[in-house]
Chains A and B, each alone.
Chain A
Amino acid sequence: MSPLKLMALACIMSASAASLAAYSDPLPPDLTYRPLPTQPLSSVRANDEAQKPKVMKRQQDLLNKRYDLADKPIPDASMSGGQKKVQDGVRVRLPDGVTWDTLASMSPTEIRDKNLLPEGFRPLPHVKQATGGQVFPQKAIDEIGKQENRDLKRFDVDFDLPDHLTPEFPPPIFLTTHPELGDVSRGELLTIKNFYEYMNGIITPVQMEGLRLLLTPFPQEEFNQTEDRKVAQQSMGVACLDCHANFHTNGAFHLTPDVRPQAARFRLDSTSLRGMFNQQIHGSKRSLRSIEDFTEFEQRTAYFNGDHVSATRKGVNLPDRPNQVAMMAQMQNIIDFSPAPKLDLMGKLDPAKASEQELAGERVFMGKGRCGECHLPQTSFLDNNMHDLKLERFYNIGYTANDQVAIADGPIKTFTLRGIKDSPPYLHDGRLLTLADTVEFFNLVLGVKLSQDERDSLVAYMLTL
């Protein structure tokens, strides 16, 4: 190379080095990573407690504006334990001047431009978005408190939905290994204090050890010993089955681990662990490929914060993959769906057992309603795929509701519909309260224009699953 060319090259290189240094992004330091608390717990708590009534009122106002929260059960539809009725009717409130039918006849763009998408169809904020974290329903707090003397009550927020809109508690447990026994929960909540007595003789040593680990509390984000906690006393932490009560769900909610910044994280309603043996992808967004992966990972990031760094300060539990994780997974893999006696071996209704309306609902499900294209009956109403329902076709994103910035949901895993009457509220964030709400939602999202009879029959059909 000639000296001139060499000089020119050197100039270019130093110039680009200088520009790299000069232009490095001036981003805030705590967008991805969680900031350390700057206040002592005592003053955080005093402020949190002072804010709490207003926080809860703001959330109640939002819920009342979006939904009819009344207790209106379907008289002859119970959840699988027979302890709670399924709630009836569409609960999402319509904007003034439209009906469900006029709305369904409009194009997505028209609905978006006129701002007519019901607010109840949009992302549901956490009670306190800025803090987030796991929030347990009062019944779970009371029962764990009674059995284990462990406090799951937060001083900054309470659970926001009324009890009748959540799953029955404690829910029944059905085992793939003992279908003949039916519900083996004895009507009680499984805890670290009683599990051995209740399961002795029914499960194997490996499953028993897995169960023990699933019921053992470990320090987690809001429940630990540090200033990060939101519980009065230093806490023993949280156990897996605190949310997945009896391997089902008690409706406890959290924020997704998968999104930053904090304001844009969406709410997550605890999923049931029933029938997971048939599911190939786990988590609404993470698409983790095995129960083992999910189980191992949940412990590592202090539950749903997607943050291994912050978790480490509280003392992480790293279950040993080939031993402990495998056992926890094996226990989870014997949890069956609730019985659906009207379904045949391929997940289709048996005409000898189902009513006319239920059969009509199945025809809509498989035909005009298009539900069966994603919820495949013969594979437990799953397709093991994620789908982008593109709800943002219907509304302008970027607005803020109770401090949550609404962004598009993006692809979400298809949830199973087996035992669906047992697990309100619906969708990944629990934004829909009843099965009738889900029918209106998909009627609009899919643009299938179902008649009232067809919609009613879909609800009747889903109650048989």
Chain B
Amino acid sequence: MRDFLTTVLVTLVSTPALAQMGNPAGFAPDTRMEEPGVPAAHQTNNQDRLFAQLAAVGGLAEVDLAKLAATKATDSRVKEFAQAMVDDHSDANSRLKALADAAKIPLPDKLDADHKAMRQKLDAAEGQAFDVAYIRSQIIAHQKTAQLLAWEIGSGEDAQLQQYSAATLPAVMKHLRMAQDIASALTGQASREIVAAKHN
């Protein structure tokens, strides 16, 4: 019994891709293994590569829109949120870039059509309407990002990209909640928590 426990502990600690136990059916066919079932570092499958593209373009757009909002927003909560997005996403974008470089995945450096359309919409909005439009766009963007990160955690092969996703997801959830709370304060839309504890 004692021996068994020791073995389990040692295995857990010494496994390089700690906690990442991907389904081998989804590994790329040319995957080099560090040991059976454990891909060597920076081995990617199709999902990893698509994830890196989508996460990178989403990150670019986040910073682009947040810079716009940081100057254009009228509500102080929206401005603060936008500034937090500039900081957090710039940081996340550079970590993603380093991992993608290591895995030799080229990343996009321009907004895609989806985000361009969003940018145009926000360019056209002014005042309170801009604040609401921006914060609603942020709810949708963070909903999509949460799905994308969870998808990579479940389907990717590159342990470091997966760990990056797992590390980023809680922050994305927090941003989503912040955006929901601000939208709630701006428009009265329902949120799961009360923004101001008591109001009458």
Interface set of A (CB-CB < 8 Å, partner B):
76-78, 80-83, 172, 179-184, 186-187, 201-202, 338-342, 352-357
Please, how many angstroms separate the alpha-carbon atoms of A357 and B146 in the complex?
39
Please, how many angstroms separate the alpha-carbon atoms of A201 and B136 in the complex?
20
Chain B residues near A181 (CB-CB < 8 A)? 143, 146, 176
Instruction: Tell me if A353 and B136 are in contact (CB < 8 A).
Output: no
Residue among A179, A339, A355, A357 with max Cβ neighbours from chain B (10 Å): A339
Instruction: Tell me if A357 and B188 are in contact (CB < 8 A).
Output: no
Please, how many angstroms separate the alpha-carbon atoms of A430 and B176 in the complex?
36
Instruction: Tell me if A82 and B188 are in contact (CB < 8 A).
Output: yes
In the complex where A76-B199, A353-B198, A355-B199 touch, is A172 in contact with B188 (Cβ < 8 A)? no
Which of the residues A81, A184, A356 comes within 8 Å of B189, measured between beta carbons? A81
Is B187 an interface residue, CB under 8 A from the partner? yes
Instruction: Tell me if A341 and B194 are in contact (CB < 8 A).
Output: yes
Interface secondary structure of A, over-half rule: loop
Please, how many angstroms separate the alpha-carbon atoms of A184 and B199 in the complex?
27
* Min distance, Cβ A323 to any Cβ of chain B, angstroms: 27
Which of the residues A78, A186, A342 comes within 8 Å of B194, measured between beta carbons? A342
For window 142-188 of B, CB contacts with A under 8 Å fall at: 143, 146-147, 151, 173, 176, 180, 183-184, 186-188
Which of the residues A80, A83, A341, A357 comes within 8 Å of B200, measured between beta carbons? A357
Instruction: Tell me if B197 and A339 are in contact (CB < 8 A).
Output: no
Which of the residues A77, A184, A340, A356 comes within 8 Å of B143, measured between beta carbons? A184
Instruction: Tell me if A82 and B184 are in contact (CB < 8 A).
Output: yes
Please, how many angstroms separate the alpha-carbon atoms of A356 and B140 in the complex?
35
Beyond the given pairs A76-B188, A183-B139, A341-B193, 7 more chain A to chain B contacts, judged by CB atoms under 8 angstroms and listed by A's residue number, are A180-B146, A180-B173, A180-B176, A186-B140, A339-B192, A341-B191, A352-B197
Residue among A180, A356, A357 with max Cβ neighbours from chain B (10 Å): A180
* Min distance, Cβ A90 to any Cβ of chain B, angstroms: 21
Instruction: Tell me if A202 and B190 are in contact (CB < 8 A).
Output: no
In the complex where A182-B139, A357-B200 touch, is A83 in contact with B151 (Cβ < 8 A)? no
Instruction: Tell me if A172 and B189 are in contact (CB < 8 A).
Output: yes
* Min distance, Cβ B80 to any Cβ of chain A, angstroms: 20
In the complex where A180-B176, A186-B140, A355-B198 touch, is A339 in contact with B190 (Cβ < 8 A)? yes
* Min distance, Cβ B150 to any Cβ of chain A, angstroms: 9
Which of the residues B151, B190, B191, B200 comes within 8 Å of A355, measured between beta carbons? B200
In the complex where A186-B140, A187-B136, A353-B197 touch, is A179 in contact with B190 (Cβ < 8 A)? no
Please, how many angstroms separate the alpha-carbon atoms of A201 and B148 in the complex?
8
Which of the residues A76, A182, A353 comes within 8 Å of B180, measured between beta carbons? A182
Chain B residues near A179 (CB-CB < 8 A)? 192
In the complex where A201-B147, A355-B200 touch, is A80 in contact with B189 (Cβ < 8 A)? yes
Instruction: Tell me if B189 and A78 are in contact (CB < 8 A).
Output: yes
* Min distance, Cβ A248 to any Cβ of chain B, angstroms: 12
Please, how many angstroms separate the alpha-carbon atoms of A342 and B136 in the complex?
23
Instruction: Tell me if A82 and B187 are in contact (CB < 8 A).
Output: yes
Measured CB to CB, the nearest residue on chain B to A357 is B200
Instruction: Tell me if A78 and B188 are in contact (CB < 8 A).
Output: yes
8 tightest Cβ-Cβ pairs between the two chains A and B: A82-B189, A78-B188, A82-B187, A80-B190, A355-B200, A201-B147, A339-B190, A341-B194
Instruction: Tell me if B199 and A182 are in contact (CB < 8 A).
Output: no
Chain A residues near B191 (CB-CB < 8 A)? 182, 339, 341
15 A-B residue pairings within 8 Å (CB atoms): A78-B188, A80-B189, A180-B146, A181-B176, A182-B191, A182-B192, A183-B189, A184-B143, A201-B151, A341-B191, A341-B192, A353-B194, A353-B197, A354-B198, A355-B200
Chain B residues near A341 (CB-CB < 8 A)? 190-194
